[in-house]
Amino acid sequence: MRSGPSSSASAGRGDGGLAIGTVLPQTGSLAYLGPPMFAGVDLALREVNEAGGVMGRPVSKVDTDSGDSATNIASQSVDKLLAQKVDAIIGAAASSVSESIIDKITRAGVVQFSPANTSDKFTTVDDKGLYFRTAPPDKLQGRVLGDLVASDGNDTVGILAMQDSYGTGLADQVQKSVTEGGGEVVERVDYDPKAPDFSADVAKIKMKNPKAIVLIGFEETAKVVAELVKQGLTADRHKWYMVDGNMSNTNFLKMPKGTLKGVKGTLPGAAAPEAFQKKLLEVNPKLTEFTYAAESYDAVTLVALAAEAAGDDSGVAVAANLVDVSKGGEKCTGFKECADLLKAGKDVDYEGVSGPVDFDDVGDPSVATIGVYQYGANNKFDAGKAVEYRKGHVAG
């Protein structure tokens, strides 16, 4: 647990100009999430700078690639950003990638703010008070997904999860929730996402013939799905459930129509509002995916508001004010509205596009929404119900 930015992090006032870096996926297994996340960052920065910037100066930005956990790209990107003296870094998307760079970032006294990390490890990590996220931790998504599986009447469940901090952490939470709901996880396989094929992994699930199959992974899930179909474990015979890492509407469009019909899944965060999607499309007209765009937008807006509130763009000053601008003051939306209140001497409570945010003392959102989605015959998903989590309990 932490009480605030540590004095062991590099201190000292900023140079008066807020600089933001991004370490987001341009390549690798989460590359499909890159465009909406970059668009969210760019939209927020556009609005901040159109409103006069932070402390009267425009906010600058440097974009870099995070790659994935199979590469060293993220570490090289962080070196580049630190050399350019950024005050805050937005990213990474994958929890395992963030784990590999968090020490380097926070030791430098720079804020690391992820729009998409969900691993529970970040709740207790030694981050010197400099790590924040707008995505809720896996214990929330896992609980909602496990409850969904149980409420659909599945008393026997198989889990296929990628073996990394994201996959195993989320699988642990789903398993716990299913068991507490009276169900039984009859087989769980934590697989190597880089494996050439998944026939042996799927065969283990087939042996136990579960009513439901939970798929936790990234883009390799498309190969897992093909193997499930090949071995007769189709979605019309077993109920499939997926998660934010593999629910992309681009992953499954090449498959025969109906392959994913009826499949359900969960995504942290509410669906991006239509008006917000239109603004994102002005930034990038080619967007087809909006996952984590709102969380990225909120991350940048909150960093800018924290610097404005502090009157200081240094990472330590930004971190010291992020909790305050996220809750407890006069509610406001968007940078301009909130910044005008700050300039008038008011305390603000930023209400994000992704939700209320309201950071707790370890930089996690204390209020979060988990969306429940369902695929149609076209192998694309549409928004379903949203489940809100607030300080320790889930409410439907």
Average pLDDT across the chain, whole number: 91
Q: Do the Cβ atoms of 262 and 235 come closer than 8 Å? A: yes
Which among 363, 375, 395 has a CA at the least distance from the CA of 133? Answer: 363
pLDDT in tens, 217-231: 999 999 999 999 999
Strands 381-390 and 212-216 turn out to be unpaired
Q: Are residues 104 and 179 in the same domain?
A: no
Domain presence at residue 1? no
CATH number of residue 88's parent domain: 3.40.50.2300
| pLDDT score, position 1 | 33
Domain presence at residue 336? yes
Q: Are residues 254 and 205 in the same domain?
A: yes
Domain that holds residue 152: 139-268+369-395
| pLDDT score, position 381 | 86
| pLDDT score, position 394 | 45
Please report where in the chains the tokens 């896992």 appear, as a residue: 142
Which among 263, 293, 205, 276 has a CA at the least distance from the CA of 380? Answer: 263
Rounded Cα–Cα distance for residues 8 and 336 (Å): 33
Q: Which pair of tokens denotes residue 337?
A: 């509205």
Dihedrals φ, ψ of 371, to 5°? Answer: -85, 140
Q: Are residues 375 and 340 in the same domain?
A: no
| Vertex 22 angle, CA 127 and 20, to 5° | 80
Q: Do the Cβ atoms of 118 and 96 come closer than 8 Å? A: no
Rounded Cα–Cα distance for residues 239 and 338 (Å): 45
Q: Is pLDDT above 80 for 2?
A: no
Domain presence at residue 221? yes
Domain presence at residue 3? no
Q: Are residues 195 and 182 in the same domain?
A: yes
Q: Is pLDDT above 70 for 171?
A: yes
| Vertex 34 angle, CA 15 and 298, to 5° | 55
Q: Which residue has the higher pLDDT, 69 or 204?
A: 204
Q: Indicate the pLDDT class of residue 395, thresholds 50, 70 and 90.
A: very low
Q: Are residues 48 and 94 in the same domain?
A: yes
Domain presence at residue 12? no
Q: Are residues 257 and 301 in the same domain?
A: no
Q: Are residues 155 and 41 in the same domain?
A: no
Q: Which residue has the higher pLDDT, 115 or 395?
A: 115
Rounded Cα–Cα distance for residues 20 and 85 (Å): 9
332: β partners: 350
Sign, CA torsion 234/238/243/248: positive
Q: Is pLDDT above 90 for 173?
A: yes
Q: Are residues 361 and 380 in the same domain?
A: no
Eight-state DSSP code of residue 49 = H
Overall average pLDDT of the 87-104 stretch? 97
Domain presence at residue 13? no
Q: Are residues 215 and 341 in the same domain?
A: no
Q: Are residues 374 and 240 in the same domain?
A: yes
Q: Indicate the pLDDT class of residue 254, thresholds 50, 70 and 90.
A: confident
Rounded Cα–Cα distance for residues 224 and 213 (Å): 11
Number of separate helices (H) and strands (E) present in the chain: 11, 15
Q: Is pLDDT above 80 for 172?
A: yes
Q: Are residues 230 and 306 in the same domain?
A: no
User: What type of residue sits at position 271?
Assistant: A
Q: Which residues of 275-300 are buried (b: 16+ CB within 10 A; e: fewer)?
A: ebbebbeebbeebebbbbbbbbbbbb
| pLDDT score, position 388 | 55
Overall average pLDDT of the 123-148 stretch? 92
Q: Are residues 113 and 171 in the same domain?
A: no
Please report where in the chains the tokens 């004010």 appear, as a residue: 321
What secondary structure does DSSP assign to 91-109, as a single string? E-SSHHHHHHHHHHHHHTT
Q: How many domains does the chain have?
A: 2
266: β partners: 372
